[in-house]
Structure 1
Amino acid sequence: MLKQKTKITIIEDDIVLGNTISEILKLNNFEVIYFKDSTEALRYLNKNIPDIIICDMVMPNMNGEELFFKIRRNTKFHIIPFIMITANIDDDVKFKQLENGVNDFIIKPFKVQELIFKINNLISLKNNIEKKFSPDPFSKITIKLSEKDFITSLNEILIKKIKSNIDMNELAGDLSISKSTLDKRVRKLTNKNASQYIREFRLDYAVKLIRSGERNLKYIVDETGFSSFSYFSTSFKLYLDSTPRDFIKSIENEE
């Protein structure tokens, strides 16, 4: 049986950052609901309970602290981990939120790996608490899995293997098709051959890492599975018409 995906609700009024975080978490096999407005998010949370909430501290209409207090009034949210995103590194601000009950912080700009580690650690803690008080919470629940389309299935496999050298025969086997069928389907759906699609998938992931705040190019090369920095740099330049360093500078100028 496939493991049910962790459900994450993100509230971030910076649409570019919010979309970037959402896409990266989806690529890492999380189920994500994203809101740019805290009021809209509260309406959703009044009817839905995610596994974890990630919320910006400073937002119009209702800030992260206010949202946190409103949802924690509901006892159903008492064990739902809450991560606050903030650009304010003042200790008094952090101490106040931790005293309120916020579980953790992410300081902008942050590293994607840090966020994923914190999510996994908090979810593990939450699951352990649930098991302690309810030995088998899913024993009477039937999880219905919707049929996934080909590209979605392909992308889920690629993100799991992105750091490694992807063998086409093995990839085709994971999808229960032949290597030739794999290439034909990718060409039909994307107008790219399988090798090009995988290379550009890696590059798109690199872009998402950069946009989320990652600046260590060695780390990015390792995380995206390129065999060398020179190959990564050449591929990046051909794909985006910009070197990785120039692209990082352009993102920093936007900020």
Structure 2
Amino acid sequence: MKKQKLKIILVEDDVALGASILELLVLSDFDVYWLKNGIEALKHLQKNIPDVIISDLMMPGMGGEELFLKIRKNNKFKTVPLIMITANTDDDIKFKQLENGVNDFIMKPFNVKELIFKIKNIVELKKNIEKKYAPDPFSKVTIKLSEKDFLTSVNEILVNYLKRKVDLYELSRQLFISKSTLDKRIRKLTNKNISQYIREFKLEYAVTLIHLGEKNIQYLVDETGFNSFSYFSTSFKSYLNVTPTDYIKSIEIEKNDKNLMIR
């Protein structure tokens, strides 16, 4: 079976640079569609969902930042990585885009090999996250007598409720116990009520995503099924004594320190 090419949307107003990037990405076996500004890209994206979006930051009409913020409001594009291209070396500009949730940066002038590696790495990361947490449709929860197996069974069911509110009656039904018994057993095993246990289970999932490279806080909110950005942030800080933004920054610093040690 022929391998399907990765679909890339390139948004770049510089004709010479855009043509060069397009040619080199096509030669690297990517399926690339080139648009000249954010307005054109937004129209194209209404009917097309790529694997990766590569966008210049500064463009007439609609720049990369505005384009990114607009498409991230649409659930269809919550998991589509965006790599921003810029000639601006101002750290504040870069930090602002990263705080918005942009997945990666590439600075002009750049080596196309660097861009290709970043594309492949970011797509591989996305696939690994999806594979790691996709529920196995062929698995069945088996309730056993041991305490460890009970919590394992609870967790296996909760994975299916990550993006939405947990129905406690349905959870109890799948565990073959009453709602009150479920709460009592959770309290006995964890010293937490069922609501706290579920909330912290979802927060631990968010932490795992951060360690796998996810930086977009709104994406974390959506993936963990919290009612709002503010509720997620408050719960996160209460659980880890640090805001999501500061936690992500600390992980980035830790990774950079490790890379320096390796070098």
TM-score, normalisation: structure 2: 0.50
> Secondary structure in 1 aligned to 2:47?
coil
> Secondary structure in 2 aligned to 1:13?
coil
Amino acid at match of 1:34: W
Aligned to 2:31: 31
Aligned to 2:12: 12
Aligned to 1:118: 118
1:39 is displaced (CA, Å) by 0.7
Amino acid at match of 1:110: F
Aligned to 1:252: none
Amino acid at match of 1:46: Q
1:109 is displaced (CA, Å) by 0.3
1:133 is displaced (CA, Å) by 4.4
> Secondary structure in 2 aligned to 1:54?
strand
1:126 is displaced (CA, Å) by 1.3
1:52 is displaced (CA, Å) by 0.2
In the alignment, the residues of structure 1 paired with residue 133 and residue 71 of structure 2 have an alpha-carbon distance, to the nearest angstrom, of 22
Aligned to 2:69: 69
In the alignment, the residues of structure 2 paired with residue 66 and residue 76 of structure 1 have an alpha-carbon distance, to the nearest angstrom, of 17
Within 5 Å, which residues of 2 pair with 1:188-207? none
Alignment deviations for residues 107-133 of structure 1 (CA, whole Å, 9 cap, x no partner): 000011110110010010111223234
Within 5 Å, which residues of 2 pair with 1:1-255? 1-134=1-134
In the alignment, the residues of structure 2 paired with residue 135 and residue 9 of structure 1 have an alpha-carbon distance, to the nearest angstrom, of 30
Aligned to 1:229: none
In the alignment, the residues of structure 1 paired with residue 133 and residue 30 of structure 2 have an alpha-carbon distance, to the nearest angstrom, of 25
Amino acid at match of 2:51: D
Aligned to 1:141: none
> Secondary structure in 1 aligned to 2:53?
strand
In the alignment, the residues of structure 2 paired with residue 42 and residue 9 of structure 1 have an alpha-carbon distance, to the nearest angstrom, of 11
Amino acid at match of 2:95: F
Q: Which runs of 5+ in 2 are unaligned?
A: 137-263
In the alignment, the residues of structure 2 paired with residue 11 and residue 122 of structure 1 have an alpha-carbon distance, to the nearest angstrom, of 18
**Cα RMSD over matched residues?**
1.6
1:105 is displaced (CA, Å) by 0.5
Alpha carbons of 1:49 and 1:87: their partners in 2 closer, same or farther (altered >3 Å)? Answer: same
Conservation of the 8 A alpha-carbon contact between 2:11 and 2:41: yes
Conservation of the 8 A alpha-carbon contact between 2:84 and 2:104: yes
In the alignment, the residues of structure 1 paired with residue 35 and residue 20 of structure 2 have an alpha-carbon distance, to the nearest angstrom, of 13
In the alignment, the residues of structure 2 paired with residue 52 and residue 135 of structure 1 have an alpha-carbon distance, to the nearest angstrom, of 24
Amino acid at match of 2:57: M
In the alignment, the residues of structure 2 paired with residue 114 and residue 22 of structure 1 have an alpha-carbon distance, to the nearest angstrom, of 15
In the alignment, the residues of structure 1 paired with residue 36 and residue 90 of structure 2 have an alpha-carbon distance, to the nearest angstrom, of 25
Deviates most, 124-133 or 55-64: 124-133
In the alignment, the residues of structure 1 paired with residue 112 and residue 38 of structure 2 have an alpha-carbon distance, to the nearest angstrom, of 23
1:134 is displaced (CA, Å) by 4.1
In the alignment, the residues of structure 1 paired with residue 88 and residue 101 of structure 2 have an alpha-carbon distance, to the nearest angstrom, of 18
Aligned length: 137
1:2 is displaced (CA, Å) by 1.9
Conservation of the 8 A alpha-carbon contact between 2:37 and 2:63: no
In the alignment, the residues of structure 1 paired with residue 43 and residue 81 of structure 2 have an alpha-carbon distance, to the nearest angstrom, of 18
> Secondary structure in 2 aligned to 1:26?
helix
Give 1 or 2 for the bigger CA radius of gyration: 2
> Secondary structure in 1 aligned to 2:55?
strand
In the alignment, the residues of structure 2 paired with residue 68 and residue 120 of structure 1 have an alpha-carbon distance, to the nearest angstrom, of 20
TM-score, normalisation: structure 1: 0.52
Name which structure has the greater RCO, CA cutoff 8 Å, separation 6+: 1
Amino acid at match of 1:37: N
In the alignment, the residues of structure 2 paired with residue 130 and residue 80 of structure 1 have an alpha-carbon distance, to the nearest angstrom, of 12
Seq. identity, %: 64
> Secondary structure in 1 aligned to 2:99?
helix
